[in-house]
Chain A
């Protein structure tokens, strides 16, 4: 709508959200992947399977997948990739066995490709450390040191993580006992130093089926996850982390932020402070922008406003607006319109309470907001919020409020519904406790189309209780069960968009097929029990001869519609009528215009031509058809 930078064309939804929001947790994530290249890593993950991949391949696959996720979800995050226990070396310190493959930077198609391809020619270019090569370095220590220096330039804010991929639980096994001890201490000291600098160190241990990765040998003291005291728990969570990285569901990650700080006014001066969050918002694919096809650089859009009468340029901020009122133009200034919409100051004003039954399923226009109390602005707010919340739950009531989100928005009525906390069996929070803010429609927004289908006979067709019971039997057979959660279904259009973009960017040969999780479970709903229930239901509605009735209905469907019949009849009639004239003679003598339109149309209908238009158009069409 405005003059804006070329870059702006590519700004996506997240950018939109930044506007007017306050950051509560800042910064981007920086991740260094440290990948062990000890010969063990080039063993197959599973000896039983001929084509099983090596541990190294598995690590690279996970990293590539993680990068693909990041480029969609957190494109400003930076990552770096460093190998340790390598034959070749590449690092500023000149240490043996340390090879920085990618410096810390934002993910890009090229970097993803490099990671995906490294497995192929790794041995030639970098290579694993030979058993015989003397251990001149303390591998994990030097790797950690390098990782830290790779992040050095990074800003103090944000999350910093080091992810270690290895299948070797005892990296110091090959050195002498004395050296082992000092190296171990050196490594642990470094790890603590890093943890003190807010760098978290995470381990992704890989082990073969049946073999256990013993974190007690070294890694327990290196990792920063203090809570994982039980090694078996730890392996489970590491496994989950691995799967997360390999996840193909691309999802934009948004940081938790307060969308708006606001107060709920009970009466003038009696206010409760709270924060508004957007927990549910439609995610759309990033918007397309426009490039200069010659330079492949983004184009800058400039918009000018020109006076239609004089051709002079108008200043955007002072342009007046008009609305046609009959033949007149009613003119408003921008600030008058601003003033017009300002019915009250931003915030929430409590109007009263209603039983939850008053909130109908169709009282909806847009996604909800979520309110959580805050004492920051008004002390006592949390207490008052909890008290109101509890009372509303107890009486099964919701609050009706008048809501003005910001000075630029119109007043709306909203329902505040007390949401109680919901947790799953493991104690994870499914729904937080607070108020759901549901914008309500006004009378202008509600339609009543059902009324237009009021039965003229006085009684609308209704199912009998017997038919309802059959339907209920059927419902039971297609129940989604108690574990069903609606918010776990991925949007197939969005996933397809991301997958296609990735394939284009990485020059992949095939577009990965995206599973459409919204399709019904075909197998499940064609099971005999379901079919049986369906048939019983049909019998109750159509009677015992439902199969014939259905076939009859199908034939009827095949019958031409009323409109089609009408057209057919008109054409038949026209065919007989057109014989009343000698068209060729009329046309040759230029006398077609002596006929009436209806008479001309008989020719057109009989010849399946269009019958619309002026008399001249009709005549022209006839002449054209006759070949003149």
Chain B
């Protein structure tokens, strides 16, 4: 990761009257932007200044020296971002008049020049103007506005300073002639300084723009080398990440054990991992006596490092084309991971032309490339990928290939599903219902016009990240601060756009009625129908059993069927849950009943425990739990029980329902061990220990601990998202 030189930014914020409706949201987003600066290692080097314009008073050097820059305040000189800077935004002055953005640009420019002194400032330098352009630019003392602008632009080009403009113009607002004039002026400005103007049309887009406004870390390539189309046609390319999931940062454990009076307390937590012998739990086995092993059936195969090195798959670094195919052969849903992008090696003219020809030929003939990618030397795996052509839309950008990883044969599970068209007639929508669905799809339109797209991924920031940094800031300023409420920008990601929803409300109500979408009252059609079908089936096809050819459920053991006839139980009720459960698991006619019984029993127990008043229902809950345990042993489903018991432990031990946990321990209701049921995941002594320690989580959630890594609950949970 090459280190990036520092960036210098001067924010020019319009605080005049017409901006007031947007200021709160803008400032909140700016705080997020600044926060990211001083929280990230690379951002800490960066320097930021803040200039307000459209204020009621004036405070800038230029005005003092030359006059003519009224209403402009240098709120923060150019310096690395610190907490005070972020806090200061909470109490920014506002103005009651108009604002001249050209003045602000000149003041900002002055700051940058002053900061540089007689040296040249390294890194990127930019002026970042946030305004709605609703205030007119005043006529200069000499010459025209255009001439003045041209002079300023000239200086900026000379000093390599870019102007970037975020223009806040919400959709419902009318565009005034002032803002149109200003925009024309700015376009020219921006064109000359290689900057850009971004218009944000909603609070969400504003926050999206600012989130990405964090100067993109100098992108690093993940591969540089040939793209081998055939052995005698190689084009040098560079590969970059195109998407990478931005996760919540990892948090470290905090210990409050040290006395508050101790000024030297670090409050940090250490994590100590010990490997204990299973035979002698008190003996810690030193690392020298560890052997790495893989499981093969019931056996452990020890594999030492040398053996493992010898056995590892090795692939040579390189990207090869396996072939080209029509894009329809590679459906979109096969993409497995985050995306990469290939471009031709920069400054290599022939590579650029060859690559451009390839990309455009693929695009014109609707082809994609199937690629074998090994990005690093000596990599232990290969990636099968698809390259989708992406001809540049702007003349100054190179053509590229978006590359996504594809699944291998082992990654695909082929489960059959009934074709929707083969669902019974009673499940097929009527013409009227079809029409309703079509109206709904058309009405809830997130992209009503070309170029107008709501919730575009590029403009939609992650609300969880935003909330975390918001919370972090609040807590830093005020240690007792409560969780901030959900912001409007987060709402936009979790709720349908209010205007769309409002317009579609009658339609949605109609939808509900016409489809009669009702929550089924614990009704269980499948097994009841099965019962009916069974008899019907026998009547209609008496010969079916005789030909001995059926392995379906119809060939169930007649004795248990008689039992069933007496009591057709197919759900665990609250009146007699243990009996219901036992009858259900005794049935052999429908394998779905077992999981259903287990699930039902769990629900009953959960209810009994949560609804208990001073533990009045605990006895019944324990009885149910015991029955569930017995049933899970009988049905070889120990994991079902064990994971459930761990769940109970996790939510009751040391919590509100700790009394229930105590009862459970007293009754010695523990995990099903391997002696009781061979499929179990625990040994007998471990089951015993579970009650005394109850620290166990499902073993599957366990990873080999990594030595230097702190517990990172956030990231861990994120990873489990699917």
Contact = CB atoms under 8 A, between A and B. Distances in A.
Interface in A293-330: 293-310, 312, 314-323, 325-326, 328-330
B101 to A, nearest CB: 25
B320 interface: yes
Given A225-B549, A378-B520, A525-B230, A331 B493 contact: no
Contact of A449 (B240, B279, B440, B557): B240
Nearest to A479: B324
A549 B329 CA distance: 37
B574 to A, nearest CB: 19
B442 A249 contact: no
A108 B717 contact: no
Most central of A314, A382, A383 by chain B CB within 10 Å: A383
B336 A157 contact: no
Interface string B298-320: 11111100010001110100001
A601 B560 CA distance: 93
Given A282-B407, A442-B246, A343 B396 contact: no
Main secondary structure of the interface of B (DSSP, over half): mixed
B653 to A, nearest CB: 8
A485 B384 CA distance: 13
A544 interface: no
A426 B496 CA distance: 43
B120 interface: no
A577 interface: no
B679 to A, nearest CB: 6
Interface in B247-266: 248-249, 251-258, 262, 265-266
B382 A459 contact: no
A492 B241 CA distance: 24
Contacts of B258: 307, 309-310
Contact of A305 (B269, B293, B390, B406): B269
Contact of A453 (B257, B289, B398): B398
A369 B386 CA distance: 20
Interface string B20-50: 0000000000000000001100000000000
B720 A387 contact: no
Contacts of B344: 461
Given A256-B413, A449-B341, A108 B404 contact: no
B208 interface: yes
Contacts of B300: 10, 289, 291, 296, 298
B184 interface: no
Contact of A433 (B251, B396, B417): B417
Interface stretch (A121-129, A136-144, A392-400): A392-400
Interface stretch (B9-17, B54-62, B128-136, B363-371): B363-371
Contacts, number: 825
Contacts of B603: none
Most chain B beta carbons < 10 A, residue from A378, A382, A408:
A382
Interface string B143-174: 00000000000000000000000000000000
Contacts of A195: 548-551, 555
Given A300-B275, A380-B518, A349 B494 contact: yes
B151 to A, nearest CB: 24
Interface in B543-561: 545-551, 555-557
A292 B438 CA distance: 64
B699 A7 contact: yes
A447 B722 contact: no
A286 B246 CA distance: 28
A11 B454 contact: no
A484 B329 contact: yes
A491 B408 contact: yes
Given A252-B410, A341-B464, A434-B417, A480 B324 contact: yes
Contacts of A344: 494
A291 B704 CA distance: 13
Contact of B254 (A322, A336, A519): A322
A486 B370 contact: yes
Nearest to A470: B357
Contacts of B456: 358
A382 B82 CA distance: 56
A292 B281 CA distance: 12
A459 B352 CA distance: 12
A472 B483 CA distance: 58
Interface string A335-378: 01101110110000111111100111111111111001001111
A526 B546 CA distance: 61
Contact of B409 (A251, A317, A442): A251
B212 A386 contact: no
- Interchain residue pairs A-B with the least CB separation, the first 5: A226-B549, A8-B699, A463-B357, A471-B361, A432-B417
16 contacts: A1-B716, A9-B699, A106-B298, A266-B440, A270-B511, A281-B413, A288-B704, A298-B278, A319-B253, A340-B467, A343-B493, A444-B461, A461-B349, A475-B324, A490-B409, A494-B408
